[in-house]
Amino acid sequence: MTASFSELNLAPSLAKAVAQMGYETMTPIQAQAIPVVLQGRDVMGAAQTGTGKTAAFSLPLLQRLLKHENASMSPARHPVRALVLLPTRELANQVADQIRQYAEFTNLRSAVVFGGMDIKPQIIELRKGVEVLVATPGRLLDHIEGKSAVLNQVEYVVLDEADRMLDIGFLPDLQRILSHLPKKRTTLLFSATFSNDIKKLAGSYLQDPVTIEVARSNSAAANVEQRFYSASGEDKRHALVALLKQHNVTQAFVFVNSKLGCARLAKALERDGLRTTAMHGDKSQDERLKALEAFKSGEVDLLVCTDVAARGLDIKDVPAVFNIDLPYNAEDYIHRIGRTGRAGASGLAISFVSNSDARLLSDIEKLINIKAEVETVDTGPRPGADFVTERPPKRLNDGHRLQQRREDGKEKRADSQDPKGRYQPPPRQMSKDPLFDQPYQAKADSTPAAWEAAEPARGRGLSANIKPKRKVAALFQMVVE
């Protein structure tokens, strides 16, 4: 039987916010985790992505923090009492926005800090005092070192998407942050998947945790239809455009593995006439937030992205996900296709498989226990193919020019060969000028040469001991061909 939020006996301020957001029945992770967190127990929660983990830890935390709410303007009356750590800026911003909505009718303050943005406005907000702080590990350490974030009164800490934080190397940062927290606290660890490293982390920092696992570990959502198509190289883009039309998809995530490939694909799809935006690690935080907002509002149809958008982003009613590249990590496939089929809706996940993807596809099959059937897709005529009448001439580079000169030389030599195939050089063109054809003859008169009639060296101011150089006549002949 499905549990209702009305059964939780939430405070009127929280119940009002929940009703305003349209929440009526709880998801399995919410129904099992919220009562345990309300008791103050440590929790290890595992559930498929998109099943409401944020509300599962946010609502009970806010309920327990209501005893500290006050309307005082003094920052000292609003110390940080709950800390939520997340791996990416987008996820941190999304969780902070949800917490603000849950706490709208309370006097509890919340803030979010993450990298890629100017730190000064964040410092100003933290110094005003907040009870709930949402942060990424790197930027939080900056605030801790700058004394703008004091965590000695934290009562609750949440590690959301903990497996992702370990994957991208946040374990040392997590250990440093947790060392600044009081030892007496409630720790909640939520993740879509559990690995051995996650279990070790939980064993080090959680005290007698309650394990809540509402779905089989490393399983894909049952309401997402998964299909695989054979395509490679540039054919993937043409197959994508064809499948968008065949399935009448109005909006979709398009995942690629590299930042450069993400940017190039987005530009190519724009040239195909599709409203597209790109999101990857080389984008500034402001650009990434604008891309997300444009996608959420429907200004663009395709969000071409890397795995920075694979985790936790909650954008409702996205009907499809396309994997242009299969992910290198099979678990990332689960998170990618989890961007569709959220909140019980059906979704479509299409992946393109090339000949070099056999190992990656095998890893996915083993992880989620399926047998993929790779289909072919009819891309039809490519855009503009009917207007191409002939191939334009290639632009010659230096290598082409050298080859052309060699071929031209061979043709010229072929014209000069005798019947036996031996090469005969062309005859040399001799000068026909009668002046140069006559032999040199000296003049009959005895007029001395110009240099013999010159002033003696002694008269030119030179020393008499300097012997003048011997004068020699020369004849120069100019040949005109």
204 and 278: one domain? no
Mean per-residue pLDDT, 305-324: 81
Instruction: Choose one of 174, 193, 213: the last residue of a domain.
Output: 213
154 and 283: one domain? no
13 and 156: one domain? yes
Instruction: State how far the Cα of 404 lies from the Cα of 123, in Å rounded to an integer.
Output: 68
Sheet hosting strand 302-305, strand order edge to edge: 276-279, 302-305, 252-255, 320-323, 347-353, 224-230, 374-375
What do you get for the CA distance between the two ends of the chain, in Å?
Answer: 106
205 and 274: one domain? no
- Is 393 a member of any domain? no
- Is 218 a member of any domain? no
Instruction: Choose one of 345, 363, 387: the last residue of a domain.
Output: 387
The residue count of the chain comes to 481
233 and 157: one domain? no
- Is 309 a member of any domain? yes
**Mean of the per-residue pLDDT values of the chain:** 81
Kindly state the tokens that stand for 461.
Answer: 């101011």
Q: What is the pLDDT of residues 361-418, one digit of tens each?
A: 999 988 888 888 899 887 766 554 433 333 444 444 555 555 555 555 555 555 555 5
Domain harbouring 377, CATH code: 3.40.50.300
> For the chain, how many structural domains are there in total?
2
205 and 272: one domain? no
75 and 174: one domain? yes
Please give the helix or strand (H or E) that residue 143 lies within, else none.
Answer: helix 137-145
Kindly state the tokens that stand for 251.
Answer: 């909006």
| φ, ψ (nearest 5 deg) of residue 242 | -65, -40
Q: What is the pLDDT of residue 451?
A: 53
- Is 231 a member of any domain? yes
The set of residues, in sequence order, having a beta carbon less than 8 Å from that of 193 and lying 6+ positions away, is: 46, 163, 217, 218, 331, 334
- Is 473 a member of any domain? no
Instruction: Look at the block and give the residue holding tokens 């009002």.
Output: 16
Mean per-residue pLDDT, 224-234: 90
- Is 448 a member of any domain? no
331 and 365: one domain? yes
| φ, ψ (nearest 5 deg) of residue 438 | -80, 145
Identity of the amino acid at 186: T
Q: What is the pLDDT of residue 73?
A: 92
- Is 327 a member of any domain? yes
Q: What is the pLDDT of residues 53-91, one digit of tens each?
A: 889 999 999 999 999 999 999 999 999 999 999 988 888
Confidence of residue 238 (pLDDT cuts 50, 70, 90): very high
Q: What is the pLDDT of residue 201?
A: 85
25 and 155: one domain? yes
CB-count burial class (<10 Å; 0-12, 13-18, 19+) for 401:
exposed
Tell me, rounded to whole angstroms, the distance of Cα 297 from its chain centroid. 21
Note the pTM of the prediction, 2 decimals: 0.62
Instruction: Look at the block and give the residue holding tokens 């005092």.
Output: 129
341 and 195: one domain? no
- Is 439 a member of any domain? no
Mean per-residue pLDDT, 192-199: 76
379 and 334: one domain? yes
Instruction: Choose one of 179, 213, 247: the last residue of a domain.
Output: 213
Mean per-residue pLDDT, 149-167: 89
304 and 171: one domain? no
Domain that holds residue 157: 5-213
